[in-house]
Structure 1
Amino acid sequence: MAFERAIFLSEKCGSRLDVVHVVQCEIGGDSAVTFEQIEELEGNAKEILERYKMEAVKQKVPIKVFFEIGDPAKIITEIVNKKEYDLIIMGSRGMSTFKELLLGSVSLKVMHHAKCPVMIVR
């Protein structure tokens, strides 16, 4: 849903769309993932990003994609705070507390640390 909203707004505003996809993986410790699992997650993410690129081209929306592994909130915030972005559009999921039930922990952190407005799409 967030991507569809972003495509729609980019098309209407004549702006470029930058898509950031971050896979959160813990290396080492009890909840660590294996190298094979990381490769699978990376492959899945790249497939998603390729579909996004094809849809953007179809809609004639310029697009740039970023793929990272690490802490999603930290990486998204670092990327958007390095440049001048007008708006962050992101989905909401990953719930752990009542407040995060409405927004999601990643979207909540990005909302508090980003230098531009954040639109949360459910």
Structure 2
Amino acid sequence: MAFNKILVPLVRSESASVIFQEALKLAQDNNSKLMLFHSVDWDMGEHFGSFNEIEAEVDFSGAYIQAQQERLQQELQESKDWLQTYAEQATAKGIPTESKCQVGHPGSLIRDLAKDWNADLIVMGRRGLNSLQEVFLGSVSNYILHHAPCSVLTVHGE
């Protein structure tokens, strides 16, 4: 089976390089295009902190919301720059490469991008959760395995 379009969702972790190298090798072997993807999962609840911190931040002029939006923009730009370093490596090897960064929950964003971009393969990592953690936290890789419109290769880090 030949893969023409390989979607590579990456997270900013030590395993990203291992996953990228695997996708790069597959792209070279299949003369494929790569789409590198990172999602910024902006769950506002996890960024609020304790009730006292929220109370201290209450501000009717909107400064707190503006600070959150600025933090999100900064995270997006840092993520785009980070993805660009991988895209440049692939392009230097003659592999047509795009990169995309979006805000939202990674599972549905990856699924939708794979469908819209007509990916033949998704190469992604996994967090290595045990079954109890996966029940409570969920797993992006498990979600993708069950909902992706194409084949999925999960790469174990180191």
Could you list the runs of 5+ residues in structure 2 that have no partner in the other structure?
1-17, 49-67
**C-alpha RMSD of the superposition:** 2.2
The residue type equivalent to 1:40 in the other structure is Q
The residue type equivalent to 2:26 in the other structure is L
Tell me how far apart the structure 2 counterparts of residues 91 and 65 of structure 1 sit (CA, whole Å): 17
With normalisation by structure 2, the TM-score equals 0.66
Q: Are 1:20 and 2:23 counterparts? A: no
**How does 1:59-98 map onto structure 2 within 5 Å?**
59-93=93-127, 95=129, 97-98=131-132
Q: How many percent identity over aligned positions?
A: 29
CA deviation profile, 1:17-65 (whole Å, cap 9, x unmatched): 11111110113xx324622331232122112111011101121110011
The residue type equivalent to 1:113 in the other structure is H
Residue number in structure 1 paired with 2:92: 58
Q: Are 1:114 and 2:148 counterparts? A: yes
- From the CA coordinates, give the structure whose radius of gyration is larger: 2
Task: Report the 3-state secondary structure (helix = DSSP H, G, I; strand = E; otherwise coil) of the residue aligned with 1:85.
Answer: coil
With normalisation by structure 1, the TM-score equals 0.84
Shift of 1:100: 3.5
Could you list the runs of 5+ residues in structure 1 that have no partner in the other structure?
none
Task: Report the 3-state secondary structure (helix = DSSP H, G, I; strand = E; otherwise coil) of the residue aligned with 1:31.
Answer: helix
- Larger relative contact order (Cα-Cα within 8 Å, sequence gap ≥ 6): 2
Tell me how far apart the structure 1 counterparts of residues 35 and 117 of structure 2 sit (CA, whole Å): 11
From 22, 30, 52, the equivalent of 1:5 is 22
Tell me how far apart the structure 2 counterparts of residues 56 and 110 of structure 1 sit (CA, whole Å): 24
Tell me how far apart the structure 2 counterparts of residues 23 and 94 of structure 1 sit (CA, whole Å): 20
Tell me how far apart the structure 2 counterparts of residues 11 and 66 of structure 1 sit (CA, whole Å): 21
The residue type equivalent to 1:36 in the other structure is E
Work out the number of aligned pairs and report it: 118
Residue number in structure 1 paired with 2:69: 35
Runs of 4+ in 1 over 6 A off after TM superposition: none
